[in-house]
Structure 1
Amino acid sequence: MKILMAAAENDALPRGKVGGIGDVVRDIPIALGKIDQEVDVVIPGYGSFSKLEGAQHVTSLEVTFGGQQEKIDIFKVALKPSAENSSKNVTQWVIEHPLFAIGGEGKIYCDDPSNRPFASDASKFALFSAAVAKAVISDVFGKIDVLHLHDWHTAMVSVLRAFDPEYQQLKTIKTVFTIHNIALQGIRPFDGDESSLKAWFPYLAFDYSKINDPRYHDCYNPMRAGITLSDKVHAVSPTYAKEILLPSNIEEGHFGGEGLEHDLRYAAETGRLHGILNGCEYPDSAVAPLKLKALLKLCAKEVIKWLGDKPLVDQAHLIAATRLEQIANIKHKKQPLVLTSVGRITDQKVRLFQEVMSNGKTALEHLLTILADDGVFILLGSGDKKLEEFLAKIAVNNSNFIFLKGYSEALSINMYNSGDLFLMPSSFEPCGISQMLAMRAGQPCLAHSVGGLSDTITHNVNGFTFNGDTPQQQAENMLSCFHSVLALKQHSPTEWATISDNALKSRYLWRDVAHDYIKHLYSH
């Protein structure tokens, strides 16, 4: 079987990842290739990937877009073989056009103003989708059996397949749409903006009822289009596939289907929706854990590097450098508990930390009070500026909290491998990879029992979970759970060792995911 995957990210290419899509698009093709499936992966070149060593220009095509013909260039990228990427059945492609580098060379996503959300990205990915459709009907990839579209960025392919006479032969190819995060839908106006459906494809006659946004009726919703127009719909964990069938009430902490629950229920009722958990790679050799002083030294080295990379001093980096030096000089009576957290700083990830408790202090401040002198909490990540400021402010006033504002692959690996307890209190989590990376190193997680976190962590077996009907309850239960976990670590070392060992032995294999893809998504 020949599968073409189209996505915005692909971590098989250097710097081709922003979030979880990049991990999936890197790993699942290899797993499919190892069971004799042929997989081609295509993403935009972003003005960068076509310049990689091993990139070869294959062809140029003309694509109708914005009322004119646009020239797109298609490259095949040969990766240097390694144990991680080796599969003779996987081929990497990138498509180039100046619009794909609109945010800057190599930048995958743009930061558009709040009054025009997704504008630059939506135009960029609409052209990319048209380019993919044109490349398929032009036989660039050879005969395709399955067209697998990842998230809203590639959903326009399903629209062109359904409504554009030029691309009608795409209807003979089974099309699968994966929902990585239903909260991001890429909504744009139908008309009246240079980033709108009619600006991109002025000639297109479409069925409004299949692709309009149910809340903003004058807007096109790519995520909805992918759901309604694809043959199969895939959510990235079984629990998330159930959660998105429910209505959302953000104030009460229920994220649900974000307005698309009716379409998703119909997809479930007609046997088109499947929840399949993402997998994780399990290397043969593990990274040795670092003692706290060595981990702090590595953190300090990274912070100094960040400070040197910027013309202006970042306050968060200065706070982290000061705190690292202070903690390194403390002589602890016993081995401190090392709490870790790695991830993008978004509302989804840290909202519960911000929840204000009855005494006016935030849940994070309460957690650090419970931790006291028994340990240190190291949080690595960057993202939303206001949330970064919130974490930096907490770091100023709490000597047991280090906020490392940025990202470092080496640092993240050592945090996964050297921590005692990984915190993941996400408000929602379609699948999650961080918890799997921590668990494979034997670090149990304390997590909100939602989405893929619920599917990978069993309370008091291989980790610890909490829930609650409102953000307030969730925050209270998180703190109560942490209090119990701390007591368990201090007073029941044998039970703690068993839970850590169970986390280490937990397996979520891409090989199993690949078999499920074939059975539930690709087979007719």
Structure 2
Amino acid sequence: MASILMVASEGLPFIKTGGLADVIGSLPLALTEKGHEVKVVMPLYRKIAEKYMDELYFDCEYTVSINYQEVPVRVYSKMVDDVCFFFIQHQGYFERDTLYGYQDDGERFAYFQKAVIEMLNQLNYWPNIIHCHDWHTGMIPCMIKETHNNDSRYNAIRFVYTIHNLAFQGNFGPEMLDSCLGLPYYLLDNGNVRFDGGISFMKSGILYSDKITTVSPTYSQEILTSQYGEHLEAVLNMRKYDLWGIVNGIDIELWNPKTDPEIPYHFDKVNIKSEKLKNKLALQKELGLDENKDVMLVGCVSRLTWQKGFYLLMEQLDALCAAPIQLVILGSGEKQIEQKFRELENGNKGKICFYQGYNESLAHRIYAASDLFLMPSLFEPCGLSQLCSLRYGTLPLVRETGGLKDTVNAYNEYDKTGNGFSFEKYDSNDLIHTLYYAIDVYYNRKQDWDMLVTNALNSDVSWQNSAKTYCLLYDELLNQ
């Protein structure tokens, strides 16, 4: 069995901004259950320090060179179940209000990656595999292969690089190559790290890793095309025989309608009908919607951005308001989308509720209470919301892209199969047509609806199958 170090910019149970954190919170444990030794390393952000500092074990202290100066590094650790989490501390770089979005992000994560590489030496810890996640870690395989190639301990390490979202690439000016990364300029000249006049952490990760994965089989094919490739499709096509699409799972203990402490009424396959209705009535009361157990409740928990398909909804607000449904939207994002949903709620009190911001507890109650879950994404590498909705017997309505296509099977009225509803083209008319089709099934084909709910509850959204596939990947890598 392999010794694996996961390197990521965030992870549960410590900190989260997106789906990457869910993966880091669940996948390592699923792999340890299959016999692998898995450790994780991430930055020590302010929120982690404030909550956990007293529980962290101090491991070591050293320096790395950034901007031609020796910058101190302190490493701490904490066990969570059978997984050891390491934390790289630098108060100036990481103890800030938010995780990302700063002018010096390139420098911050260059420091993080350099600190991780030297941590192996300081702790005398030599994993078989370093598994890097997203752009924040993309330079690690390059730096080890280009600057530690005379050290047999580093040479023995194999690299897996996972793309969670190709749209975020870590592109920076070329001067960083020498000043922060300590890499020679010929890597610009030969094109290994050059991208759009500067350097790309993401491109480097793709080129220098031994295997590349992304978070669903369909997305792994989509990113080979100019439509989804974000100008990296040529690079990805060079590596397409080393590219694996492995769909994410969710933590089925955290997302469990039988035991979820965030929902008022617990349920399983046996009592879902009665208890889901109670959850619906409780949510309607909580959010000021008309209390009506018979109306179809449509939920949406999302970042409100162009990627998530909200411009399609903007084109169909009249049809949305006319539909015999209630709509609950939880999220924040682009100001014009937030403004539109505020106006929509103000004009449709009792029918539409918009909760601006993010509330994890409320998200659980929306999944548990809703009949239908809306997710009309323009693109979606994997998506976790549709997996959560399936877990709670809430039927997802999705566009057939990326992980949505891989996890949601459209209702087939002829052979009575499916666990949700889907449409193919990125077109607002197709979205509304599919929504009205779902409404018709809900009100007029109760037996079919109940069958779809049962299928949703029976969908395997755990990490088990995915962890098996990762094990196959690691085995292949170590046996090459």
Q: Would you call these one fold, judging by a TM-score over 0.5?
A: yes
The residue number in structure 2 matching 1:235 is 214
3-state DSSP class of the match of 1:210?
coil
The residue number in structure 2 matching 1:65 is 66
2:428 paired residue among 475, 484, 495: 475
User: Against the structure 1 CA distance between its residues 206 and 134, is the aligned structure 2 distance closer, same or farther, given a 3 Å change threshold?
Assistant: farther
For the 8 Å contact 2:28–2:38, the answer to whether it is kept is: yes
* Displacement after TM superposition at 1:279 (Å): 1.0
Q: What amino acid is the match of 1:97?
A: H
1:190 paired residue among 156, 165, 174: 174
Aligned ranges 1:272-421 → 2 under 5 Å: 272-283=242-253, 285-287=258-260, 288=266, 289=276, 290-299=278-287, 324=288, 327-328=289-290, 332=292, 335-354=294-313, 362-369=315-322, 371=323, 374-399=324-349, 400-421=351-372
Residue 465 in structure 1 maps to residue 422 in structure 2: yes
For the 8 Å contact 2:46–2:96, the answer to whether it is kept is: no
User: Against the structure 1 CA distance between its residues 67 and 522, is the aligned structure 2 distance closer, same or farther, given a 3 Å change threshold?
Assistant: farther
The residue number in structure 1 matching 2:270 is none
User: Against the structure 1 CA distance between its residues 167 and 94, is the aligned structure 2 distance closer, same or farther, given a 3 Å change threshold?
Assistant: farther
Deviations 1:63-121 (A, max 9, x none): 11111111010001234xxxxxx3x3x111111012332633xx3223x4xxxxxx332
1:508 paired residue among 444, 461, 464: 461
Aligned length: 446
2:87 paired residue among 83, 91, 94: 94
Residue 211 in structure 1 maps to residue 190 in structure 2: no
Q: What amino acid is the match of 1:99?
A: G
* Displacement after TM superposition at 1:392 (Å): 1.7
The residue number in structure 1 matching 2:160 is 176
2:99 paired residue among 105, 108, 111: 108
User: Against the structure 1 CA distance between its residues 522 and 123, is the aligned structure 2 distance closer, same or farther, given a 3 Å change threshold?
Assistant: farther
CA distance, structure 2, for counterparts of residue 198 and residue 297 of structure 1: 59
The gaps in structure 2 that reach 5 residues or longer are 261-265, 267-275, 412-417
The gaps in structure 1 that reach 5 residues or longer are 80-85, 113-118, 249-255, 300-323, 356-361
3-state DSSP class of the match of 2:329?
strand
For the 8 Å contact 1:146–1:522, the answer to whether it is kept is: no
* Displacement after TM superposition at 1:167 (Å): 8.2
* Displacement after TM superposition at 1:286 (Å): 4.3
User: Against the structure 1 CA distance between its residues 337 and 48, is the aligned structure 2 distance closer, same or farther, given a 3 Å change threshold?
Assistant: closer
3-state DSSP class of the match of 2:126?
coil
**What is the percentage of aligned positions where both structures have the same residue?**
29
The residue number in structure 2 matching 1:309 is none
TM-score by length of 2: 0.88
Residue 423 in structure 1 maps to residue 414 in structure 2: no
* Displacement after TM superposition at 1:154 (Å): 0.7
Give the alignment's Cα RMSD to 1 decimal.
Answer: 2.0
* Displacement after TM superposition at 1:50 (Å): 4.1
The residue number in structure 2 matching 1:257 is 229
Deviations 1:397-420 (A, max 9, x none): 334221100111211111111100
The residue number in structure 2 matching 1:359 is none
User: Against the structure 1 CA distance between its residues 340 and 354, is the aligned structure 2 distance closer, same or farther, given a 3 Å change threshold?
Assistant: closer
Q: What amino acid is the match of 2:440?
A: A
For the 8 Å contact 2:178–2:185, the answer to whether it is kept is: no
User: Against the structure 1 CA distance between its residues 151 and 220, is the aligned structure 2 distance closer, same or farther, given a 3 Å change threshold?
Assistant: same
Q: What amino acid is the match of 2:64?
A: V
